[in-house]
Amino acid sequence: MAFHTWQFGVFLVIVLGVFWLVAAHRNARSSLLLIASYVFYGSWEPWFLLLIVFSTILDYHCARWMVATENPAKRRAALLASLVGNLGLLAYFKYSLWGVELLNPMLGGSEVGASLQRVAWSAVVPVGISFYTFQTLSYTIDVYRGTLKPARNLLDFALFVSFFPQLVAGPIVRASQFLPQLDWTPRFTRERLHDGLYRIATGLMKKALISDTLALYLVDPVHNEPGEWAAWIHVLAIFGFSFQIYFDFSGYTDIAIGTARLFGFDLPENFNSPMQSKSIREFWRRWHTTLSFWVRDYVYFPLGGSKRGELRVVINLILTMVIIGLWHGASVLWLIYGLLQGITMALERWFERLRGGVLFATTPLRKGISWVMTFSFVSFTLLAVRGESFESVYAVLTVFGDETELSIWAWVALAACVLTHFQPEAFYTALKARIIALPTVAHGLFVGLVIGTMVYVMSSSNAFIYFQF
Amino acid sequence: MIEESSLGADLPRKGVVFGLLLKVVVGAVMGLGLADFAAGHYDAARDLRRSGALMLDAELAWAPRPDFVFKNGITRVNSLGLRGPEIPSDAPPTELRILGMGASRTFGSGVAENEKIWSNVLEKLLNFEGIESRVFNGGVNGYSNVQSSRRAIRLTPVLQPDLILLFTSPGAQMLLDETIAGQWAEVGGEPVPRDIVDAVPGLLKPVAARLHRLLLNSSLYARYRARIQADGNRPPGLRRYVYNDRQAPLGGEDMLDTTWREIEALVEHCRAEQIELRAVLMPLAHQTTDKAWVRWIRSARGKGVPPLDMPRREPTAALEAQLKRLGLEVWLLQDELEQIGNDTDRFTFDTRHWTPPGHRIVGTSLLQHLLAETELLERMTAHRQQHPRD
């Protein structure tokens, strides 16, 4: 039940209606949202629910054990149980096949190798497991550190883990951001409703009108038949995919944030015009920020961050980015992706130190050069996402034809990317204020028009790219 | 951004909440109506819905529009939706009639003149051989074997063909979207897509079917259904699927089963109606040379393509064996398509669709296959002499 399907539309209307009927009763509204979240998640595969329930019960009790004892060893044991349980599930479902393939040269042909292959092949990656695993881990780690009080009851915690607007592709929410909102009176004002609808409509537009159009008319044709297209079209497709994945993922995030708003919840932002970045470090402060900050807080800082000498900083940066790479997927391509990000960030840091701590992008010309370099680096490394295999990436980079005639819709979508992404923040703030002031019926009309256009364009059957992670 | 706490604040009154939500629903319905209105006008302006080359069809998903003249003013589709002229009223009652069913290559996409495509070449050659005959071109862009088989059965009462040629390849023609694969249900004596009525309790099925037909008047709904019924639901892992014995079409097993079932239905129909049937098996464009095959597999890894070590003729051989198991005689155009593949500049427009010289190769080859089966020719001629058309 993806956000851009009619089934989700019907589901949302029903759940929203019932939610505001029972909104005065804390347990009733939380129970309703939990049931709705489980229905939503179970609509992919009912057995996925077993995993999320397992993670929920494990982490809820681990946190309770931690606060119930003063004994540091017992507290560490509880944390370890949470880490092993969650990361074990993630490792089995997401990384076992890759691991077995890496071991294959050593085990190939043996009975053990064959058994491992059978076990690994039987693992299907459950939708959203990477997202909710990180969410539950942050909870137990924060409780262990003493920076967070445990959830009041299992119901609250289960809802934090499974809240359907952000369950399958984020944003990754911290318990400290979500749990207090369960105690608050659900907020419903005209402005919040308009803001939620505005986010949903813009999210759908980003996904169905821009991202899918780019995929249909530029990225997919080139990746499917690289031998047909001229070299400069390949370059355009590589840049186009950066925008495709950005509009796809940020569109999903917009819908998630907008949907949560309709229920009175606020979710953290995940993007801040990342394609405007002028360095890779800046890019990761603007792109998928809930993941970047998660890894910063729970991996980079505990490793020592930037406080233990230059060599250690380089190692920490590379290790952190490798984890981000492998969080996305289990393959050598993702490993290389993370390595490249980490090495480039270390180089940027080294270059900045050579200049006495002064950034390179100080003049308009230098800012332009920095932007071109950053955007090109981001786009070419994102080939790891789209290419799927070394052969495919190699073909896109080396096999060319002479076809140059792109559909007009490819150009329209590219123009829309540039025009919408590179506007100053003030422009959007002013535009949004004007839109939110419009009558409620106009907001409904806008949503209806967007859905109608989406159906008409008929290019919206592609699943959100980040669902695979 | 997380807003400030609302702890202790008053909950808004239900009337206010539902009043606003109602306004949203009313606005959304108006927005959808507006989008539908605009879509209808846009489609009409583009001659898509009302006068495009293809139209929606309840049983076939899409079908050629009868009496259609393409924008070039030359390519014509007759009143039966077949490429070429009308059947003259004084057509000899004992002429040999051959009906070719297939996709865009069969239709002759890219060649404007009807006289230059394989069906006309074959017809001329047969008449030159002294066999009074008429060849019908039933190719439709994007058609699968399921659609071709169903349409062949639909056309036989009118055309009364002596021989049906089912053009097939081991690629996308084997697989169709699950809705089509799921077949059609009969509600109130009319076919309705099964997915529309399957989820609805028995008593409500006529209501769902009627609602579906009513909604088909909406541009948006018609497009949505056409997409679902056409190819929209084919999973990415199947988009480059090539039939073979080694790999199952993951997620597409039902589609493959339906293909076999519909072909079997055509075989049975032809047997009952005493119509001869042959499968014309053509390799895919990228199967015609070793270089094209390897390059295609390398460039499309992860999308259901066969393993790199699979010989390029293996899928064709596997399909040939399967078609024979279904009771079909097969005419394999391996050498002819390889000849075309080795000189794509001369014989194709876009490496796939044939130029007039390419159509001559195919037409000539079909004649040779036909002449090689002397018993088949004798049987058809004798049967038609005994049963002249009205």
Whether residue A377 sits in one domain with residue A236:
yes
**Which residues from A are below 8 Å from B298, CB to CB?**
391-392, 394-395, 399
How far is the CA of A187 from the CAs of A30, A190, A436, A444, in angstroms?
Answer: 14, 10, 17, 20
Whether residue A196 sits in one domain with residue A181:
no
Identify the domain boundary among A186, A203, A226.
A186
- Quick one: pLDDT band at residue A465, thresholds 50, 70, 90? very low
**Which residues from A are below 8 Å from B232, CB to CB?**
458, 461
Report d(CA A220, CA B56) in Å as an integer.
27
Least confidently predicted of A421-435, B126-140, B289-303: B289-303
Whether residue A64 sits in one domain with residue A161:
yes
The answer to the question of residue A291 being in a domain is: no
Task: Between A349 and A388, name the one with better pLDDT.
Answer: A349
pLDDT digits (tens, 9 = 90+) for A112-154: 666 666 665 555 667 788 889 999 999 999 999 999 999 989 9
Domain count, chain A: 2
Our CA-based measurement puts residue A250 at a distance from the nearest CA of chain B, in whole angstroms, of 15
Whether residue A88 sits in one domain with residue A182:
yes
Cβ–Cβ < 8 Å for A320, A295: yes
Least confidently predicted of A207-216, B159-168, B380-389: A207-216
pLDDT at B220: 83
Report d(CA B66, CA B158) in Å as an integer.
14
Our CA-based measurement puts residue B30 at a distance from the nearest CA of chain A, in whole angstroms, of 6
The answer to the question of residue A294 being in a domain is: no
Residue B113 has phi, psi (to 5 degrees) of: -80, 130
pLDDT at B94: 93
pLDDT digits (tens, 9 = 90+) for B264-309: 999 999 999 999 999 999 999 889 888 888 877 776 655 567 877 8
Cis peptide bond upstream of A171, omega within 30: yes
Whether residue A129 sits in one domain with residue A41:
yes
Average pLDDT, chain A: 86
Q: Where are the domains of chain B?
A: 15-46, 55-176+234-386, 179-230
Mutation target for A interface from B1, B10, B23: give the one with most A CBs within 10 A. Answer: B23
Whether residue A229 sits in one domain with residue A170:
no
Whether residue A261 sits in one domain with residue A244:
yes
Whether residue A204 sits in one domain with residue A164:
no
Whether residue A205 sits in one domain with residue A168:
no
Least confidently predicted of A176-190, A339-353, A408-422, B290-304: B290-304
pTM of the full structure: 0.70
pLDDT at B318: 94
- Under DSSP, is residue B17 helix (H, G, I), strand (E, B) or coil? helix
**Is it the case that residue B195 has pLDDT exceeding 50?**
yes
Q: Which domain holds residue A399?
A: 191-278+361-457
Say if A227 is an interface residue toward chain B (CB within 8 Å). yes
Say if A395 is an interface residue toward chain B (CB within 8 Å). yes
Report the percentage of chain A scoring pLDDT > 70: 92
Report d(CA B70, CA B50) in Å as an integer.
14
**Is it the case that residue B237 has pLDDT exceeding 90?**
no
The answer to the question of residue A346 being in a domain is: no
What the block records as the tokens of A340 is: 């490249």
pLDDT digits (tens, 9 = 90+) for A9-50: 889 999 999 999 898 888 999 999 999 999 999 987 788 899
Identify the domain boundary among A165, A186, A207.
A186
Closest-CA residue of B relative to A459 is B232
pLDDT at A461: 46
Mutation target for A interface from B1, B2, B233: give the one with most A CBs within 10 A. Answer: B2
**Is it the case that residue A409 has pLDDT exceeding 80?**
yes
pLDDT digits (tens, 9 = 90+) for A385-399: 777 677 778 888 888
Whether residue A164 sits in one domain with residue A209:
no
Nearest to A266 among B3, B10, B223 (CB): B3
pLDDT digits (tens, 9 = 90+) for A72-115: 999 999 999 999 998 888 888 777 777 777 776 676 666 666 66
The answer to the question of residue A287 being in a domain is: no
Instruction: Please give the ipTM for the structure prediction.
Output: 0.74
The answer to the question of residue A465 being in a domain is: no
Identify the domain boundary among A166, A186, A206.
A186
The answer to the question of residue A298 being in a domain is: no
- Quick one: pLDDT band at residue B313, thresholds 50, 70, 90? very high
Q: Closest Cα to residue A276, out of A267, A268, A286? A: A286
Whether residue A206 sits in one domain with residue A110:
no
pLDDT at A467: 45
> Going by C-beta distance under 8 Å and a sequence separation of 6 or more, which residues neighbour residue A107?
A100, A113, A116
Q: Closest Cα to residue B182, out of B121, B228, B119? A: B228
pLDDT at B202: 81
Measured in whole angstroms, the distance separating CA B266 from the mean position of its chain's CA atoms is: 15
CATH fold for domain B55-176+234-386 = Rossmann fold (3.40.50)
pLDDT at B45: 58
Whether residue A204 sits in one domain with residue A173:
no
**Beta strands at B133-139 and B96-102: parallel, antiparallel or unpaired:** parallel
Say if A20 is an interface residue toward chain B (CB within 8 Å). yes
